[in-house]
Amino acid sequence: YISRQGEFGVDTSNNNRIFMGVGAKYLPIAGLELGLDFSYHFDNHKSQYAQSEPQMRGSVGVRYTLRDWSFYVDGKLLGAREWSYVDRELPNFTMPTTFDLGAGVSYCINNRLEVFVKGQNLINSKIYDFAHYTQPGIGFKVGVKVDF
């Protein structure tokens, strides 16, 4: 974003970003964890190219742990993004704001071995990783986590 040197090494008159965010975790009872994160930024950046970074992001989650079992549900909010084409005369590609819902369960066999099942994008949102490249939709993972 830096286009020329200023008084303190960076000219911020037309190239700045104001970032605001909040995050919290709440543990109301033993084993239960509630979490919330949200961030937003304002840009004063003049460019002919889109940045492909969302102005807002957020997440909310609930996790409950009972002895060796752990259950969770979380959601991730990703604001609208826009991509530019550098060498082509095409209009910018815009991805709308999306929400990704996930859930999972895990079981700790011992302090080194854990098995898990988790689901992602459970509401089948059309989520883009890059322009015109979407995630496959509802997905599940089954796995084993080994700590060495």
Two structure tokens written together for 21 = 């965010």
Task: Tell me the pLDDT tens digit for each residue of 37-76.
Answer: 999 987 776 666 666 788 899 999 999 999 999 999 999 9
Give the CA count within 13 Å in the CB-facing half-sphere of 59: 12
Q: Has residue 3 got a pLDDT over 60? A: no
Please count the other Cβ atoms lying within 10 Å of the Cβ belonging to residue 99. Answer: 14
What predicted TM-score, i.e. pTM, was given to this entire model? 0.75
Q: Has residue 85 got a pLDDT over 70? A: yes
Average pLDDT in the chain: 85
Task: Tell me the pLDDT tens digit for each residue of 10-37.
Answer: 445 556 677 889 999 999 999 999 999 9
